[in-house]
Each structure stands twice: as C-alpha cells, then as structure tokens.
Amino acid sequence: MYRYGTVVVLGLAVLVGVVVAAGGLFERRLQEEPAAPAGTASVQAAARPNVLIILTDDHPVRKDFYSVMPETMRIFREGGRHYTNGVATTPICCPARTSLFSGQYVHNHGVIGNVAPGRFKPTRTMQRELRAAGYYTAISGKFLNAWNASPPDFDKWAMMLGQARYSNVDFDVNGTVINQPGYTTTVIRDHALRFLDEFEVADDAKPWFMQVSPLAPHGPATPEKQFTGVPVPVWRDNPATSETDLSDKPAYVREQGVAKRATQVFRSQQARTLKSVDVMVAALFEKLTALGEAEDTLAIFMGDHGHMLWEHQLRGKKYPYNQTIRTPFFVRWPGHMAPGSVSSDIVANIDVAPTVYEAAGVTPSYVVDGKPLGSPPRQHILVEYLANDQTQPNYQGLWTPSWEYLRYRNNTRFPRIETTDPREYYGPNDPWQLNNVYGDGVAGNEPANQAELDAMVQRASTCTGADCP
C-alpha cells in the first residue's frame, strides 16, 4: 500500500534471515486429529482454551536475559512460537498494561501515565469480557501502579501493593490486605499455583484466564537469596552502548548523564531476578501438566515493555528506541502454534486481547485497535508517549524492525520541544539507531517521502479499531 512497505520487507529479509512464513495463530491444519463427537468435554476444551499471560516488568530483549531462563526458553521458545518483533506501543508500565488488558492504543484507552486510577476504564478489559463469557479470572502480582482498590473483574486475585520492592510486600489477596513475608516472585508463583488448583477443582470444564505478573526484572532488581551473587553472563557492549557521538539526537537524550558502571551492575542484578521468574514459569507448567491442562492452555510470555541499558548512554524506559519498544514475546498453544516456530510479524501488547477474544470465541463489547496474531502482517506500528511528564517529551512515531520515524509533540511540562520540533529518522542501514539522519542535509539519508510519512503518523496518532496500524 505504501512505498515504505517495500522497505520493511527488504529490511526484514536482510536483518532477520531465516524466518517461518507469517503463520496464523489459528493454524487449523495442526489440529488434524480425529474430531471428538460434538458437545463432548474435549471439544469444549479445545474450543475455549485456558489463557495464561506471564508478564514481566521492564524486560528488554537481550540474549543474556534469555540465557538465564532455560526453562522458559524450553517451554515457550521450543514449545511455542517466538515473535522476534514483539513490541509495547508505549514503553511504560500503566499505559502498556492497560493496552494489554484492553487491546487499545494509549490514545484511545486514555491511561497516559503511571497514575492510573482516574483514567482506567475497567469496562474495556479481557478480564471483564472473558468473565462475562463464562471464564474464571485471576491475577497474581502487579496490576496497575497506584491502584489501591481490589482489581475489578477477577474471581481471585493476589495483587501487589505499594512501592517496587522484592521482599515482604503487602498484597491484596481476595480483598484482604496482608503482608506477605518472602520473595515477591515466589509469593506470586504460589498464589498462581493455588488459583489453578482451585479453579480445576471447582469446575474442570470451565476455562480460566490468569495473568501472572512478577515485579522482575524491574528496579531495584533485588535477587532472591538463592541467586544472590550467582554468576550471570558477562556484560557485552553492543554498537548502541558504544555510541559516543550523540549529536544526532534530541537535546533531552544527550543530557541524561547516566553512569555506565551502575547500569552494568543493575543489568547483572536484573538477570538474577529473572532466574526466579524462570523457576516460577517451570512451576506453573509443571502444575498445568499435573492438572492435565497444559495442552488446553494458550500461554503468552512477554514483558510489559523494554528498558534501555546504556544504549545511547540511556537507562530506563519511556524513550522511543528499540530497547524500550521491543520486549520478549512468546506464545505457546499446542495444536495451534507449531513448537519451535519463529515469526517476524510485528506484534504488540495491543494484539493480546484481540488474540484472546478470537481464541475464546468472544466478541468484545468495545472497539479494539490491535489484531489477532496471525492476521496479515502489519507494515509498521504506532509508538506513542503522551504523559505530561517532566522527564520525557511526548512523541508519536512509526516503528518497524528496520526503520523508525519519530515526531515529538507539545508537552506543557517540556516546553523546549515546542520550539525545536525535533524529529528522528533511523533508516534500514542503522539497526542500532546510531545516526538520526533527519535533517542532516545528506542526499539520500532522509526518509524518501517525508510528506507521506507525516501523513501516516498523523493518521495513526488518532486511529481507532481497524483503521489502526
């Protein structure tokens, strides 16, 4: 449709190499076992899978982080499909989590920052829709920052409260606030295991939806006692952590002044917290297997968004670059996702709810912006940051695995952007986003069709439903 589509496809072929052809979530051909008679329990189970979402916090795509999670890789990468271009459309907790629950972009769900309660609309969530459709629903772990009431539309919950801390944290457990001694990931795991037992005992034929959302590897990234000080892969610089010339980037990026050594220590600590997540994932699947539910469960492992670890000398989230936008994205659904398959489709947090709705046979009562996995591949996706924030100017732009175009917007608490109107364009020859070529005056560097790109950003920035990228 757009000339940039060609660029994307070529870029992918170069960057990604061997990739399975874009495959649908609903690969019915994988289900060619003889069908059971209509109306039997097994048909019911196959038609309405359990849904398990394991959501880590501030989790960038890194080989060293995958390598400390061998059980998760075995279960999800070998046992399911690895989406190598999985992204969060807004790289910060509450906006991203609300996009996950709802399937909507931030400009439609309205949770622009981390102070969620005023804007979160519980009527547009998977938990509400699935519960209404006859699912049990549960959450164990993080819900939304600063949410102090019980989380709506869950039958069972163990919701972390308060500040980011790894031990002895207060939880709202089914409406009762209790301090839970011990390590959060373990506490979250044990509640999730109990919920599974309770659901299956109560009614094996009734499917369930559960989100398990540990704090890891979010700061302060305190490891569990058994993993304190254990060896983790050595730090390896990449071209973006070696970038010394930041003159191509907007002023706010150049002015961060992050210490590299402290970031390296933090990265090691994050890796150690992920070891506990790996233990949790293994325990969850051991339980699913013991309960006979592993084959009837659509499971997704992903982060809420990524995190810069000294790429472009930055640390943290919110930024519009590859390391914050990308996040791990694995889907395991026996009979539907070929084990060990890989997809380079651009998929996002906004696609989870539409995927789950399709799998559960639910027509949502509101308009979703995302698309079920297996839809015709999109050519680009909108990334946006809309909070009125003193540390990060607003932006909306288009992201693809091979190029990114960003426009910054007015933000009353970040007034400088109004006068400088910086834009960024990273082209297909710059996978580490080292050289913003927008406005550099070099022939052939800038986006080939500026007006068309601007129009695409403009359309995407206010899109709704099927009109969205």
Which residues make up the interface to Ca ion (CB under 5 A)? 57-58, 93, 204, 245, 248, 304, 434
Cα maximum dimension of the chain: 68
Nearer to Ca ion, 82 or 317 (CB): 317
Shortest distance, CB of residue 389 to Ca ion, whole angstroms? 15
Give 407's strand partners: 396, 423
User: What distances in angstroms separate CA 234 from CA 61, 71, 230, 255, 267, one per listed residue?
Assistant: 16, 20, 12, 28, 10
Nearer to Ca ion, 110 or 219 (CB): 219
Shortest distance, CB of residue 288 to Ca ion, whole angstroms? 10
Distance (Å, rounded) from C-alpha 80 to C-alpha 73? Answer: 9
Residue (of 322, 346, 387) closest to 469 by Cα position: 346
| 348 contact partners, CB below 8 Å, separation of at least 6 | 86, 87, 88, 89, 99, 370, 381
By beta-carbon distance, which residue lies closest to Ca ion?
93
Shortest distance, CB of residue 367 to Ca ion, whole angstroms? 26
Strands 136-141 and 341-348: unpaired
Shortest distance, CB of residue 415 to Ca ion, whole angstroms? 25
Identify whether 181 is preceded by a cis peptide bond (ω within 30 of 0).
no
Nearer to Ca ion, 139 or 456 (CB): 139
Shortest distance, CB of residue 22 to Ca ion, whole angstroms? 28
Shortest distance, CB of residue 305 to Ca ion, whole angstroms? 6
Shortest distance, CB of residue 127 to Ca ion, whole angstroms? 18
Distance (Å, rounded) from C-alpha 157 to C-alpha 225? Answer: 26
Q: Which three-class secondary structure state does DSSP give residue 128?
A: helix
**Structure-token match 């210490």, residue found:** 259
Q: Which helix (H) or strand (E) holds 55?
A: strand 50-56
Amino acid at 164: A
Nearer to Ca ion, 93 or 346 (CB): 93
Shortest distance, CB of residue 362 to Ca ion, whole angstroms? 18
Shortest distance, CB of residue 246 to Ca ion, whole angstroms? 6
Q: Which helix (H) or strand (E) holds 456?
A: helix 450-461
Nearer to Ca ion, 33 or 245 (CB): 245
Q: Give the number of other CB atoms < 10 A from CB of residue 450.
A: 13
Nearer to Ca ion, 11 or 60 (CB): 60
Nearer to Ca ion, 204 or 467 (CB): 204
Residues in the chain: 469
Phi, psi of 35 (to 5 degrees): -75, 140
Shortest distance, CB of residue 5 to Ca ion, whole angstroms? 27
10 phi-psi bin (left φ>0, alpha ψ -120 to 50, beta other): alpha
Helix 3-16 / helix 450-461 crossing angle, nearest 10 deg = 90
Nearer to Ca ion, 248 or 345 (CB): 248
Nearer to Ca ion, 12 or 193 (CB): 193
Nearer to Ca ion, 155 or 304 (CB): 304
Strand order through the sheet with 176-183: 176-183, 167-173, 156-160, 136-141, 208-213, 50-56, 297-303, 329-332, 81-87, 341-348
